[in-house]
Amino acid sequence: MTSEDYQNGQVLLIDKPLNWTSFQAVNKIKYALINKVGLPKKFKIGHAGTLDPLASGLLLICTGKFTKIISELQGQAKEYTGTFYIGATTPSYDLETEINENFPISHIDDKLILETVKQFLGEIDQKPPIYSAIKKDGVRLYEHARAGEDVKIESRKTTIHEFEITRIALPEIDFRVVCSKGTYIRSLAFDFGKALNSGAHLTALRRTKIGDYSVENAVEPEAFIEGLLQSPSL
């Protein structure tokens, strides 16, 4: 693809590796396009929806004129797969922080798990995790959290279109979920644990789809850059 193709607009399907920030992935690709394809230093590039460092999977990176459709892409339904750990909670609802409380799980069986799923289908009220980038009084929630401050977080409406349990091997449960924009899977893990009269946190998360775009057609940043190196010079 030529420099002009990227400036006219492309949606790049990137499989973000674990422990990378979304910003790192965009930057890596941005500088490769500048250095290998000859794009101007100030060309437009951005992603359509952040993935936490502890999550892997589909990141849509828009270039040139297609940066205008970022908000439209962000509004599409998203599919995730992952793992809940039942019987313990963490302040961040995932592995970013240490376990702060343990709960019994001896009362939990397959039937209870599958019944509990039904409570989360459709429109639900959800509170974002305190360890999140949402702003309260102009400050990101995770900054309040790290300063040890108590913050009242308002719940928000979100929609769970599909919620399927794909493996039960307590204390672990694997799942697949299709949800609306703004859904926190970490909060879903926390709330799911509570609904089981126990506790839970998220130990693995992968974004597999955004609208009609699938991670099956995505490449890791390094592979994308390698592909640029192999293209004939433009």
**pLDDT tens digits along 96-145:** 999 999 999 999 999 999 999 999 999 999 988 877 666 666 666 666 66
Residues 152 and 176 reside in one and the same domain: yes
Same domain, 134 and 206: yes
Verify that 105 and 220 share a domain, yes or no.
no
**CATH number of the domain within which 134 lies:** 3.30.2350.10
Domain match, 103 and 54 both = no
Task: Note the pLDDT tens digit of each residue in 152-175.
Answer: 778 999 999 999 999 999 999 999
Q: Are residues 41 and 109 in the same domain?
A: no
Could you tell me the two tokens for 164?
């399927």
Predicted structure pTM score: 0.91
Nearest partner of 55 among 19, 27, 91, judged by Cα? 19
Q: Which domain holds residue 37?
A: 3-74+213-230
> What is the average per-residue pLDDT within 37-49?
94
The answer on 101 and 155 residing in a single domain is yes
**187 with 84, same domain?**
yes
Report the domain count for the chain. Answer: 2
Q: Do both 15 and 105 map to the same domain? A: no
**Residues with a known catalytic role:** 52
Residues 6 or more apart in contact with residue 22 via CB below 8 angstroms: 16, 47, 50, 51, 59
Do 42 and 110 lie in one domain? The reply is no
Q: Clarify whether residues 108 and 41 are in a common domain.
A: no
Neighbour-count burial for 3-23, b at 16+ CB within 10 Å, e otherwise: beebbeebebbbbbeeebebe
* pLDDT given at position 133: 62
